[in-house]
Amino acid sequence: MSANETLSSPETAQPIPPGQPLPHRKVIRGWITPLAERRTAIAIALLVLDWAIFAALIAGTVVFEAWWAKLLCGLAAGFTIGRLFIIGHDACHQSYTPHRGLNKVLGRIAMIPSLTPYSLWEVGHNVVHHGYTNLKGVDFVWAPLTKAEFDALSPGRRLLERIYRSGWGPALYYFIEMWWLRMFFPRKTYMGTRRPEFVWDGVFVLAVALLWIGGMVAAALATGQSVWLQVVMGFVVPFVFWNAMIGFVVYVHHTHPAVQWHDDKIAWAKAAPFVSTTVHLEFPFKIGALMHHIMEHTAHHVDMSVPLYKLKQAQKKLEEMLPGRIIIQRFSWRWYFDTARRCKLYDFTRRCWTDFQGRPTSDPAPSYA
């Protein structure tokens, strides 16, 4: 048995002490590959369950007359959209079931309530984000500006960046920067190419939105309720909550004072970005489980084939094998807003986060030049 085979075998591999070079990504993936068993029955059951919950909550916005009950149902429906999207995200990675064609079908079904064009998400997320995580100029998801880039913006755009990075802006960021500009009939400037599939997925999403709104209007008229209130509670509130949820999730996955961004591809590759650019965010009260374990994010970036119902075990294995290497953060609102205060811009020369005045707010990251 070769040295690499010994390292990668889950039975014989030993933890890598801090300070020792990381083994090749294939070796690290070998530790968690046995956990990547995909099961069709549980996958379909989870999708059916979440769709049933979502449908019941949308129905609740119609059935209940009190505005506060409608609001609670709308907010919970928005959270369930997030759960469904995580399922679609898994299916888009081909990690949800063992069947490629079935994954595509289930993924599209799961992404319907989030109004996400499946093909555009597949390119932007699977190819760009996972292929070049935290590489400036390629990965665009919450990519930080430099001080010079920020100063060159118009006053209005600088204000928008301040809102995005305030801690209160995830919903606005995702809606504008991700959904509106890059998913809803995006210009070639943002996608780099146009395919018929992109257009048809956009048409489908638009049709779903119109049918959803039309359904809320019809339900309000049939029950003698306010049309505007029903549209707000049954469509706007769930969609806004979903945008806030996904904006928050992608922000905390890759934004942290200890997370490094790169503007040099060679240095980026040397930094083992599949480990060093992700955060495992721990929540109390089993909230992480309610989010289908998407916060066990290091394991997902190491091996995208691990299904969501196996991520907890995979993350635990990685943290056992790479002690001190993985960023593990206990969530609190105090931590979150402190991170938002510190992580405004990035200085690629000093390899640290800065505030909007360019003052360092984190320790310098290791140099891989």
Q: What is the pLDDT of residues 307-343, one digit of tens each?
A: 999 999 999 999 999 998 899 999 999 999 999 999 9
Q: Which of 4-18, 94-108, 291-305 has the lowest mean pLDDT?
A: 4-18
Asked if the model's pLDDT at residue 23 lies above 50, the reply is yes
For residue 353, what are the contacts with CB-CB under 8 A and spacing of at least 6?
144, 257, 342, 343, 344, 345, 346, 347, 360, 361, 362
Q: Give 339 or 4, the one with higher predicted confidence.
A: 339
Specify whether the CB–CB gap between 69 and 109 falls below 8 A: no
If pLDDT is split at 50, 70 and 90, which confidence band does 193 have?
confident
Q: Give 191 or 22, the one with higher predicted confidence.
A: 22
Helix axes 40-63, 100-111, angle to 10 degrees: 10
pTM score over 0.75 = yes
* Tens-place pLDDT, residues 139-153: 999 999 999 999 999
Q: Specify the pLDDT at position 7.
A: 52
Count Cβ atoms below 10 Å from residue 287 Cβ, excluding itself: 12
Specify whether the CB–CB gap between 54 and 77 falls below 8 A: yes
Q: Specify the pLDDT at position 11.
A: 58
- State the average pLDDT over residues 16-23: 82
Task: Kindly list the domain boundaries of the chain, sorted by start residue.
Answer: 25-354
Return d(Cα 272, Cα 7) in angstroms, integer: 17
